[in-house]
Structure formats: C-alpha cells, structure tokens
C-alpha cells in the first residue's frame, strides 16, 4: 500500500493554495499517524494525541510544498521536486533532541529485500524518494492520461529491484566467521516490573548464558536493561565476573552504568562488556534518549506528566557513540530508540564498527504492531551499512541479521529463546556509510530550486487536454 498511499493526498491538493493544502496534509497526517502510532495509547491518550499533532505538521508542510512545486505548477521538474520534498521532510524528522522518524514509508519496505537493498547506496531516503515518485507518477497518469511519468517511475523502480535482486545473489560476506549467542529472557520489565526483578533476571539470564556457552560462542549478548541497576555494584559485578569466567565468553550486558565522577548524579542506559577473565572491558552508553521516556524537558513545569508513567528522574545522555572492542572485532551499538535513526549506525560503522548490535526492551509495546515496526528498522540498519546485526530484545523480536537484511535466526514475540548464529566481522564500507545522507541533502536543494521556480514563474506547464480532445 505504501506505493500508492500518497495518491489520495496528491489528488486532494490539485488546485489548492499552499495554506489550504497544508490543512489538507495535516488532516491526512493525523489519520495516518493516528493508526501507525496507536501503540502510544499504552502511555495515555494525551501523549498519543500530542505526538499525532506534532508529526502531522510534517505532512502539512509537505502538502504546502507540493502545492507549490507539483508538476501542474512548475512542469516536469515537479516530478523531482515533489518526491524530493517528501524525502527532505523525512530527513528533517530525524534531527534534534525531539527527532522521531517512526512511520517513515521506507520502513514499509524492510521486509521486501529486493527493494530495501538500495539503502546501501542512498540510505532509507532512496526508498522514500522512489515510493513518493511512484505515487505521483500513477496519479499523474490517471489525471492527464499521459504515461510518460509512469514509464519513468516504472523504470526507476525496476532498476531498484534489479539492483536488489543482484545484491541478494551474494550468499555471504567473505572472511572468518565467529559464533555468537543472543539471549531473549522474556521477562516483564515495563511499567510494573515483577517484585525482586533483578535477582530473578540475574538468575534467568545466568542460566541461559551457561546453556548458550555449551555451543562455545565468542560473544553472548543480553537485552537492554536486562539488569536495570548499576552493574558496578560489588555483588552484581562479582556475579557477572564469575559467570564470564565459567563460560569463557565475552558478555555484553544491558544495565545502568555507574555515575561518572565528573557528572555526579548521572545515570546512563548502557551496554557493558565483560571479558572471559571477568573484567569490565568497554561499554556503550546511550546518546539519543527518548523524550518524556528517559528525560523530561522542563520537568519542574509539567508535574501532571507523572500520571503517564514517566521516569521519576532523568537519565543522562552520553557524549559519543563509543565502540566496544570484543574478541571478534569492534561492535557499534544502538540502544532501543537509537536504532530508528540511520545516522547513528552509519556513524559507528564509519568509525570502524565491524559488527552492529541493537539491544532493546520492547515489553512496553505489549502485543501491538510496534515491536514488528521496531524490528523492521533494525533490518534496514544492517542493509545500509552491510554489516551483520545482532538484535537482543527482552521480550522480542530478537534476531541475527546478515548484511543484506536476511534473518538468519529469530526469536518471536514473548518467547524465551537463545539464538546461536555465525557472523563475519566486515571492514569494507558501503556507499551510504561512506557518503552519509547525500540524497537527503540533494533533495533539500531540489526543493529549494522548485520553490524558486514556482515563485519566479520560470515555467508554466502546458494546458492539459480534456480526455475528449485526446480521443479526437
């Protein structure tokens, strides 16, 4: 449906002023995000409604731009300007402390691997561009009876699919493979965790780790906040050290990092490494925090938010996307919300990450569509950077994903499971990793050119012929 999903909006914008088009786009966005983000209602109706309003503003801005740069306004250049406008606005949604890219049309193609492979060149922005171009071309063909735009869009889509099909002929990346384990404990860790959760979680994950060690994995990955406490507490650090020594594996454990002496009182959502000698060996602390989930701007002025289950105190954001050195190579980490942003995995891979991992606690989402949507984004991160990706989610969906987005092992939602897989550390960089968000920047430039052409009246499209004239 993504390939034709924008057609009703494009049809409604015909002949509207920019102001009326913006209102039309806002209404469209409200319906769209109201459905896609319905899982936000788990946190209350007010957060759901506010998020819909904020995200729908982007739809409104796209519609206003479209009213100015559409083909019926500026001619053929509009066939580039409209999808460029859509792509640029999706990129803008990732920026700033309140960036939120959930619901991008690019995510809809994560399970369609022949289409998704283009992300290794363009990032998700190429998928957004081609989908919007397809909707525009189909609507133009319906409206004008001209098939030229449709032919152009069909050729572009065919090129994308052929490139993807060719990419998928590769069976594996060359290099030495290493065995890894991903744990999914399926423990409830949301608004109301079970009593004595930490001892119970430690016992379960320790048992799973010892069982996984029988397959002799080099690295064993635990989910985000598998142990939601300071992992440097003596009794806990000692237990983890004994576990690492007994298994002979490198453990990656999700929990909270001890406060930084330079910033007393700060607590970090972290993934800590412990080597087979029982010593802490590297860590990653989350940089991109969830607004109103992990930190609350102007908390003192909004005490009413407490009724929506926000944290009693804010977490601190780390300054850098640090890599973790492991026996199989450098690992780039995204913790939960961070995996929705393509720039984070891209930056970590450019810095030298040979393997990617995503740790998450999706228990908050329950049995909504959110866990599947979240998982699809991780598949895109693997494709974009051509890296094996390990995803450990406390209640699912956990997986071992290859550099082409193919799922090698997977544990379903609300299942207990241990995934044993083979990964290859990779150093070669994809075009997207090397070039970053180049298509997003070009799209911004195209939109500016389109708006200038519209304002200056540099080109007026030819008069459209009535279907009866065409038949004569």
Q: What is the pLDDT of residues 328-343, one digit of tens each?
A: 999 999 999 999 999 9
φ, ψ (nearest 5 deg) of residue 427: -110, -25
Q: What pTM value is reported for the model?
A: 0.89
Point out which residues pair with 400 in neighbouring strands.
Answer: 390, 409
Please state, as a whole number, how many other Cβ atoms lie within 10 Å of the Cβ of residue 393.
27
Residue for token pair 């289950």: 309
DSSP string, 173-203: -SS--EEEEEEE-----SSSPPTTHHHHHHH
Is 385 or 198 the better-scoring residue by pLDDT?
385
Mean pLDDT to the nearest integer, 130-159 = 90
Burial of 468 (0-12, 13-18, 19+ CB in 10 A): exposed
> Distances in Å between the alpha carbon of 358 and those of 88, 355, 430?
26, 10, 19
pLDDT at 184: 96
Q: Comparing C-alpha atoms, which of 269, 198, 212 is closest to residue 244?
A: 212
Q: Comparing C-alpha atoms, which of 267, 262, 218, 257 is closest to residue 236?
A: 257
What percentage of the chain has pLDDT greater than the value 90?
Answer: 64
* 406 close to 322: Cβ distance less than 8 angstroms: no
φ, ψ (nearest 5 deg) of residue 281: -140, 75
* 365 close to 260: Cβ distance less than 8 angstroms: no
- Cα–Cα distance measured from residue 339 to residue 385, given in angstroms and rounded to the nearest whole number: 13
Highest mean pLDDT among 51-60, 182-191, 304-313: 51-60
Q: Tell how far CA 183 is from the center of its chain.
A: 21
Confidence of residue 346 (pLDDT cuts 50, 70, 90): very high
* 33 close to 55: Cβ distance less than 8 angstroms: yes
Mean pLDDT to the nearest integer, 360-382 = 92
- Residue 160 pLDDT greater than 80, yes or no: yes
- Cα–Cα distance measured from residue 50 to residue 48, given in angstroms and rounded to the nearest whole number: 6
* 376 close to 398: Cβ distance less than 8 angstroms: no
Indicate the SS3 state at residue 430.
coil
pLDDT at 176: 87
Mean pLDDT to the nearest integer, 303-324 = 76
Is 144 or 67 the better-scoring residue by pLDDT?
67
- Cα–Cα distance measured from residue 286 to residue 360, given in angstroms and rounded to the nearest whole number: 11
Point out which residues pair with 29 in neighbouring strands.
Answer: none
- Cα–Cα distance measured from residue 46 to residue 303, given in angstroms and rounded to the nearest whole number: 14
pLDDT at 308: 59
Q: Which helix (H) or strand (E) holds 136?
A: helix 124-144
Point out which residues pair with 269 in neighbouring strands.
Answer: 256
pLDDT at 263: 61
Is 114 or 458 the better-scoring residue by pLDDT?
114
Contacts of 414 (CB under 8 A, 6+ apart): 186, 367, 395, 396
What percentage of the chain has pLDDT greater than the value 70?
Answer: 90
Confidence of residue 266 (pLDDT cuts 50, 70, 90): confident
Q: Comparing C-alpha atoms, which of 434, 450, 416 is closest to residue 71?
A: 450
pLDDT at 144: 82
pLDDT at 123: 95
Indicate the SS3 state at residue 362.
helix
pLDDT at 306: 64
pLDDT at 472: 46
pLDDT for 105-138, tens place per residue?
999 999 999 999 999 999 999 999 999 999 999 9
- Cα–Cα distance measured from residue 76 to residue 70, given in angstroms and rounded to the nearest whole number: 9
pLDDT for 205-263, tens place per residue?
999 999 999 999 999 999 998 998 888 888 998 999 999 999 999 999 999 887 666 66
Q: Comparing C-alpha atoms, which of 171, 176, 174 is closest to residue 327?
A: 176
Confidence of residue 192 (pLDDT cuts 50, 70, 90): low
Which domains, and CATH codes, for the chain?
7-169+433-471 (no CATH), 178-425 (3.60.110.10)
Is 274 or 308 the better-scoring residue by pLDDT?
274
- Residue 157 pLDDT greater than 50, yes or no: yes
pLDDT for 35-85, tens place per residue?
999 988 887 788 888 889 999 999 999 999 999 998 888 888 989 999 999
DSSP letter at 368 equals: S
Point out which residues pair with 328 in neighbouring strands.
Answer: none
Q: Look over the chain and give the mean of its residue pLDDT values, rounded to a whole number.
A: 88
- Cα–Cα distance measured from residue 360 to residue 337, given in angstroms and rounded to the nearest whole number: 8
- Residue 102 pLDDT greater than 70, yes or no: yes
pLDDT at 470: 45
Strands (DSSP E) along 185-310, which ranges?
Answer: 219-221, 227-230, 250-257, 268-274, 280-285
Written as six digits, the tokens of 440 are 């997003």
């Amino acid at each position: 449906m993504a390939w034709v999903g924008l057609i009703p909006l494009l049809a409604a914008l015909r002949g509207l002023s920019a102001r009326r088009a913006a209102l039309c786009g806002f209404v469209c966005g409200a319906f769209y995000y109201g459905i896609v983000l319905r899982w936000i209602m788990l946190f209350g109706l007010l957060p759901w409604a506010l998020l819909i309003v904020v995200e729908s503003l982007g739809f409104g801005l796209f519609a206003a731009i479209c009213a100015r740069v559409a083909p019926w306004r500026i001619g053929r250049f509009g066939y580039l300007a409209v999808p460029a406008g859509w792509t640029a606005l999706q990129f803008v949604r990732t920026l700033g402390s309140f960036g939120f890219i959930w619901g991008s049309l690019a995510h809809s193609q994560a399970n369609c691997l022949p289409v998704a492979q283009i992300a290794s060149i363009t990032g998700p922005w190429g998928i957004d561009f081609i989908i919007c171009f397809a909707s525009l071309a189909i609507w133009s063909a319906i409206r004008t009876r001209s098939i030229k735009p449709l032919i152009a869009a069909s050729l572009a889509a065919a090129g994308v699919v052929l490139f993807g099909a060719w990419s998928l002929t590769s069976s594996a990346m060359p290099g030495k493979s290493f065995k890894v384990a991903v744990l999914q404990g399926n423990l409830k860790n949301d608004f109301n965790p079970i009593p004595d959760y930490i001892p119970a979680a430690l016992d379960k994950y320790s048992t799973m780790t010892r069982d996984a060690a029988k397959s002799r994995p080099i690295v064993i990955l635990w989910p985000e906040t598998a142990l939601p406490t300071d992992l440097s507490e003596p009794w806990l650090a000692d237990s983890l050290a004994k576990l690492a020594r007994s298994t002979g594996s490198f453990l990656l454990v999700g929990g909270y990092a001890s406060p930084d002496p330079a910033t007393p009182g700060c607590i970090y959502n972290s993934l800590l490494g412990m080597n087979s000698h029982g010593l802490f060996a590297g860590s990653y602390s989350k940089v991109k925090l969830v607004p109103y989930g992990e930190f609350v701007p102007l908390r003192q002025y909004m005490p009413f938010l407490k009724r929506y289950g926000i944290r009693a105190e804010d977490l601190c954001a780390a300054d850098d996307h640090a890599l973790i050195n492991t026996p199989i190579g450098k690992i780039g980490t995204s913790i939960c919300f961070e995996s929705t942003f393509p720039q984070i995995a891209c930056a970590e891979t450019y810095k030298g990450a040979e393997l990617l991992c995503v740790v998450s606690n999706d228990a908050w989402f329950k049995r909504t569509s959110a866990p599947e949507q979240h998982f699809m984004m991780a598949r895109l991160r693997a494709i974009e950077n051509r890296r094996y990706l390990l995803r450990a989610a406390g209640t699912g969906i956990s997986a071992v994903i290859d550099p082409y987005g193919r799922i090698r092992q997977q544990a379903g939602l609300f299942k207990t499971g241990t995934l044993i897989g083979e990964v290859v550390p990779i150093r070669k960089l994809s075009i997207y990793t090397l070039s970053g968000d180049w298509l997003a920047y070009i799209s911004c430039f195209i939109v500016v050119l389109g708006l200038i052409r519209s304002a200056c009246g540099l080109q007026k499209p030819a008069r459209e012929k009535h279907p009866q004239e065409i038949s004569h």
